[in-house]
């Protein structure tokens, strides 16, 4: 129990922790080969998401009137972070699978028409396997678009044109979390080619069975493999006019998705680090090498201390950034990017220590430690790359003097 959390938050965290310890970790350990199945549908059994539903962590953010688990808005992001960390301690791919539901639900409750909220929230609640996805990244433009390049030539290549009372969308999306198996997508497209990305991008609600939408493939990733990342193609895809969520200002209004997203990424990363520390500290206190248990060797003890220190530093910054987002503080954007970058770099080092402390066992697939390292490595590239995030930090701190767009290539 943590004195910094409310009784309700402590109970929620404990329920999640029990689910991870009793269901998720035993599944991962007993079925380590399953992660490498090239049939994405066969990786995660239905009972895992059904279990997440039973403990109430699949539909956080869904309004209570529709049957969801509504959280006090003043601490919603902090709770998202708390639960994301616990799930990722069991498996970061499962965590990513679930948190997309949370974040997209926040968007829907804010911008979707009432009749669509009623339809899709009910559908989400009725089917434990139902997933949501947020489609922003494209093959030729991802986190680089968030540099100060707000010009027409940097706009999205996915285009939406209104004709005869509906929207016709053409384009492609890549690296989409839950993209392979989601039932409902929020899709971003350019709707005004004469202005910059921030003024000409709209968002649309797109059901999976919409004609013209093709799920092209599952992207086979290094880590986080229990979340099926996907590539989508839109060919004259027709979307009803009422499925428009935000016209032209979609990116400006999506801060309610992006800010919590950075916090949740850091929290998931932290969960991976906590698991790495648990595995390493248990191993070095029970494995004998050189005539004594490993932790009695000074070099090993120093690594354990380093791991613990990095984890606590990430946790401290995460708590501060979470509060800033919940409070809508002026420095929220800066702190969001800081904690995303800091967590990805520090926890990768924690995972490296864990791998090396296990010696030869650390690189054996069936031992379960190398997976921690692979999962940690993914976070360098999730929700913006490290370098782009650092540029955004500088831009938010020094908006008048940070680097400017140099213009298109000659």
pLDDT (tens digit per residue) in 48-81? 999 999 999 999 999 999 999 878 889 999 999 9
Confidence band (pLDDT; 50, 70, 90) for 22?
very high
What phi-psi label fits residue 328: left (phi over 0), alpha (psi between -120 and 50 degrees) or beta? Answer: left
The domain segmentation of the chain, as residue ranges, is 7-129, 133-249, 254-397
Assigned fold of 254-397: Butyryl-CoA Dehydrogenase, subunit A; domain 3 (1.20.140)
Task: Determine whether 346 is exposed, middle or buried from the number of CB atoms within 10 Å of its CB (0-12, 13-18, 19+).
Answer: buried
pTM above threshold 0.85 = yes
Confidence band (pLDDT; 50, 70, 90) for 293?
very high
φ, ψ for residue 230 (rounded to 5)? -135, 165
Residue 146: predicted pLDDT: 61
Under CATH, to which class is 133-249 assigned? mainly beta
Residue 140: predicted pLDDT: 79
How long is the chain? 410
Residue 1: predicted pLDDT: 53
State pLDDT tens for residues 83-128: 999 999 999 999 999 999 999 999 999 999 999 999 999 999 999 9
Residue 327: predicted pLDDT: 96
Per DSSP, 133 falls in state E
Provide the mean pLDDT of the chain. 93
One fold for 7-129 and 133-249: no
Going by C-alpha positions, the residue among 307, 191, 192, 320 that lies closest to residue 263 is: 320
Residue 77: predicted pLDDT: 95
Of the chain, the percentage scoring pLDDT greater than 70 comes to: 95
410 has a pLDDT exceeding 60: no
Which residues is 141 bridged to in the sheet? 138
393 has a pLDDT exceeding 80: yes
Going by C-alpha positions, the residue among 173, 119, 149, 383 that lies closest to residue 257 is: 383
Residue 402: predicted pLDDT: 74
CATH match of 7-129 with 1.10.540.10: yes
Distances 279 to 63, 235, 317 between C-alpha atoms, Å: 38, 48, 24
Q: Token pair of 181, please?
A: 């198996």
Residue 4: predicted pLDDT: 64
Cα 346 versus chain centre, distance = 18
Confidence band (pLDDT; 50, 70, 90) for 237?
very high
151 has a pLDDT exceeding 90: no
């Amino acid at each position: 129990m943590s004195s910094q959390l409310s009784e309700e938050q402590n109970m929620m965290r404990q329920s999640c922790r029990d689910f991870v310890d009793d269901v998720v970790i035993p599944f991962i350990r007993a079925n380590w080969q399953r992660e490498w199945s090239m049939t994405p549908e066969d990786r995660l059994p239905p009972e895992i998401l059904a279990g997440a539903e039973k403990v109430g962590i699949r539909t956080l953010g869904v309004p209570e009137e529709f049957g969801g688990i509504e959280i006090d808005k003043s601490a919603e992001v902090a709770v998202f972070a708390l639960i994301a960390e616990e799930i990722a301690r069991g498996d970061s791919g499962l965590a990513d699978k679930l948190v997309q539901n949370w974040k997209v639900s926040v968007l829907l409750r804010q911008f979707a028409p009432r009749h669509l909220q009623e339809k899709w929230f009910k559908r989400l609640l009725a089917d434990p396997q139902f997933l949501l996805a947020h489609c922003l990244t494209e093959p030729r433009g991802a986190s680089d678009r968030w540099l100060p390049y707000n010009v027409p030539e940097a706009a999205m290549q996915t285009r939406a044109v209104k004709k005869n009372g509906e929207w016709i969308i053409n384009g492609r999306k890549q690296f989409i979390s839950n993209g392979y198996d989601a039932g409902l997508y929020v899709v971003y497209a350019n709707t005004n080619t004469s202005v910059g990305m921030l003024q000409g991008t709209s968002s649309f609600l797109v059901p999976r069975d919409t004609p013209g939408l093709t799920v092209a493939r599952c992207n086979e990733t290094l880590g986080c493999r229990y979340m099926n990342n996907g590539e989508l193609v839109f060919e004259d895809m027709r979307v009803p006019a009422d499925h428009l969520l935000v016209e032209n200002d979609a990116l400006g209004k999506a801060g309610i998705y992006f800010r919590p997203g950075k916090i949740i990424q850091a929290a998931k990363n932290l969960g991976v680090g906590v698991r790495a520390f648990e595995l390493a500290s248990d191993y070095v206190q029970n494995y004998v090498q050189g005539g004594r248990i490993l932790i009695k060797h000074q070099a090993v003890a120093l690594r354990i201390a380093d791991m613990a220190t990095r984890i606590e530093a990430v946790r401290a910054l995460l708590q501060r950034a979470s509060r800033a987002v919940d409070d809508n503080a002026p420095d929220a954007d800066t702190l969001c990017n800081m904690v995303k970058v800091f967590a990805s770099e520090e926890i990768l080092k924690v995972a490296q220590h864990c791998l090396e402390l296990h010696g030869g066992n650390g690189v054996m697939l069936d031992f379960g430690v190398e997976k921690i390292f692979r999962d940690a490595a993914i976070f360098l590239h999730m929700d913006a790359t490290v370098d782009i995030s650092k540029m955004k930090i500088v831009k938010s701190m020094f908006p008048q003097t940070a680097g400017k767009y140099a213009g298109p290539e000659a």
